[in-house]
Structure formats: structure tokens, C-alpha cells
Amino acid sequence: MNQRALIQALPKAELHVHIEGTFEPELMFAIAQRNQIEIPYKSIEEVKQAYNFHNLQSFLDIYYAGANVLIHEQDFYDLAWAYFKKCAEDHVVHTEMFFDPQTHTDRGVPFGIVINGLQRACNDAQAQFGISSHLIMCFLRHLSEEAAFETLEQALPYKDQIIAVGLDSSEVGHPPSKFERVFAKAREAGFLVVAHAGEEGPAEYVWEALDLLKVNRIDHGVRSEEDPVLMQRLIAEKMPLTVCPLSNLKLKVVDDMQQHNIHRLLQQGVHVTVNSDDPSYFGGYMNDNFYAIAEALDLSNDELKQLAINSFEASFISEQQKQAWSERIHAL
């Protein structure tokens, strides 16, 4: 089988996607219009021209502005449904998607509106496409610890619909240690935990995510390679890193795809997975990320299969389901 066909045929799990980052300009325009909200762009072309990021912060400024048009439950449904259609096209059969409640509650949109819209799309995706999903709510790390505690409180009535808490937004200057107490409380309440660390921030932030937040996975984590002792720890603990190649390229974490370290990490035995992060902003969904690394880094078919197996192994599905997907992949 040629590589593109293999990538398409592989069942895959997506573990690092921000639902607000799947907001395609066409849908953004449609929702802005029906909600009668002004956006600072006159055309879809203008929106796309604004996407010339030079780092994480310049991206986040535009990403938060786009999310401002989301108000009603139906808006959140439409957003997630559009993403599930992409999953179906790319043979993503399971997804664990992030949402940023504070981006919405800070504008007066109730927590329940956000989660009800997303959950309804998840239910329909299961029914229509057979795609399973979990929701992960992220705390915005540029906001205060107190604000994160309030958000955790608002989430408690919806605990059964949220599998984990995460940590995203501007990394440098907002280390995991800032949220040690909130994460302890979240774990006590029964949430699994993940955190963005080692994207723009140093390897030290990955240590903090492991030791202080006690995460089940690291999101990004590519800068872990700068610390050999940390690398040994990640390998020994089989700690997943949810790597996002096109995101790293677009936000200039790497200068070109040939320099991306995902292949080296995989060869050294780190449990890496492939993900799209904010696909509408970074130039591609799951399979585009696979195509980009397969070509630039000359991955073998066995390595592509391993990356797909890793995605299920690192997910929060049952051991039995992990086994079943792994067998399916080996049989390809």
C-alpha cells in the first residue's frame, strides 16, 4: 500500500485538538452573521491572510477573537459537528477534544450552553459516524489560579461528561506550578489530568507537569529532548506526548518540518502521538499532519502504524478497546 493510502486507512485517535481551533472561516462568518456580531474581517480571504503567526501569542490573539462569535448552544454544536465530519473523512475513530470554558464564560456564555452543544454533537457523531469521544476542559494559564478554581466549581455538575482537565494558552511565564492546587482538587474530584508543557516553555515545565500536576499525558512536550534525564523518565514511564507537527511549524517551534524531532523521539522509545491542535489555523487536520511528517522525515509504514497504535494506547478508552484497535492496525 502506498503511504498516503496507508495513512488514510489507519484508524486513528486524536488526543490534542482544541475545538475552538477547528473553527473554519466559512463557519465563523456564518455564525457571526446569524448572531449579528462584527468581526474585523471583510472576507474569508482576509481571515486567512491574518493567519501569519510568528509565535504562540500571536496565534492566541486571533484564536480568542474568533471564538467571540460563539454564543448559543447551536453554535457550539455546529462547531463540533464540522470537526466530526473532518474526523470521518480522515478515519479518526476516537477523539478527546479540549474546550476552553473561560473563553466563553468570561463573555457571559453559561458553562452549560457550551457543554450541552458539544455533548449533543458528540452523541450525534457516535450515532451517525461511529466516532467515540471524550471532552477535556482546559484552564487558561494566563488567568489566575482563583479563576481556575471557579471554573472547576462550575464544571462539577457536568463531571460525568468531562473526562479530564487540561492546561493551555500562553505558556512562558505561567508554569504548571501555578495550578498545582487546582489540579490536586480536580484529581480528588475524579478527573484525569493533562497539561500543555514544553511547547514554547522549557523542559522544566514538563518536570513540573509530571511531579506537581501528576499528569496522565503531556501535550506537546517536544522540548523535553533538551533534557536527557527527563527523556529517560518519559521513556521509563511510557508517558505520552501528544505532538502536533503542523502547529509546531506554523508557530515556529521548528523552522522546517525536516527538523521536527517526532521521528527521533519515536526511535528513542518515547510514546509520541500525532495530532492537529488547531487545524483550521495551522493548515490541516489529522491526515495532513501524518502526510507532512511521513514525507519530511521519511517514516516507514511500520512507524506510521506505531504512531496510530500509540494514539489508542495513550487515550482514555478501555484496555479492551485499545487491544481491539491495535489488532485492527496490525492486520493492515
What residues are annotated to the active site?
A: 199
174 among the known binding-site residues? no
168 among the known binding-site residues? no
Answer with the entry of Zn ion, ligand HPA, none that 199 interacts with (C-beta below 5 to 8 A by kind): ligand HPA
**Interaction mask 222-261, Zn ion, x per CB under 5 A:** ----------------------------------------
Burial level of 289, CB count in 10 A (0-12/13-18/19+)? Answer: buried
Q: Give the CB-nearest residue to ligand HPA.
A: 168
Query: Of 47 and 56, which has the nearer Cβ to Zn ion?
Result: 56
Q: Give yes or no for residue 96 binding ligand HPA (CB under 6 A).
A: no
Q: Where are the alpha helices (DSSP H) in 156-252?
A: 180-188, 203-211, 228-237, 245-250
Rounded Cα distance, 227 and 271, in Å = 16
Kindly give, in sequence order, each residue whose CB lies less than 8 Å from that of residue 103, ignoring residues fewer than 6 positions away. Answer: 20, 64, 67, 140
Which range in 78-86, 119-127, 139-147, 273-281 contacts Zn ion by CB under 5 A? 273-281
Query: Of 41 and 179, which has the nearer Cβ to Zn ion?
Result: 179
Answer with the entry of ligand HPA, Zn ion, none that 86 interacts with (C-beta below 5 to 8 A by kind): none
User: Given the C-alpha cell 492486520, which residue does it identify?
Assistant: 331
Which range in 159-167, 258-266, 270-278, 307-315 contacts Zn ion by CB under 5 A? 270-278
Contact 242, 220 (CB under 8 A): yes
18 among the known binding-site residues? yes
Site for ligand HPA in 16-55 (CB under 6 A): 18, 21
Give the dihedral sign, CA 188/191/192/198. negative
Rounded Cα distance, 291 and 41, in Å = 31
| Beta strands across the sheet bearing 92-99 | 12-18, 92-99, 132-140, 164-168, 192-197, 217-220, 240-243, 271-274
In angstroms, give the least distance from the CB of 258 to ligand HPA. 21
Rounded Cα distance, 48 and 41, in Å = 10
Rounded Cα distance, 222 and 220, in Å = 6
Contact 234, 270 (CB under 8 A): yes
Contact 152, 189 (CB under 8 A): yes
In angstroms, give the least distance from the CB of 288 to Zn ion. 16
Q: Give yes or no for residue 277 binding ligand HPA (CB under 6 A).
A: yes
Q: Give yes or no for residue 278 binding ligand HPA (CB under 6 A).
A: yes
Q: Give the CB-nearest residue to Zn ion.
A: 277
Q: Give yes or no for residue 199 binding ligand HPA (CB under 6 A).
A: yes
Count of residues that bind ligand HPA according to CB under 6 A: 11
16 among the known binding-site residues? yes
Rounded Cα distance, 47 and 69, in Å = 14
Task: Give the one residue of 20, 100, 208, 277 binding Zn ion; rule: CB under 5 A.
Answer: 277
In angstroms, give the least distance from the CB of 220 to ligand HPA. 7
Contact 257, 296 (CB under 8 A): yes
Q: Give yes or no for residue 56 binding ligand HPA (CB under 6 A).
A: yes
User: What residues make contact with Zn ion under the rule CB under 5 A?
Assistant: 277
Binding site for ligand HPA (CB under 6 A): 18, 21, 56, 63, 168-169, 196, 199, 247, 277-278
Binding-site positions for Zn(2+): 16, 18, 196, 277
Residues placed in the known binding site for substrate = 278
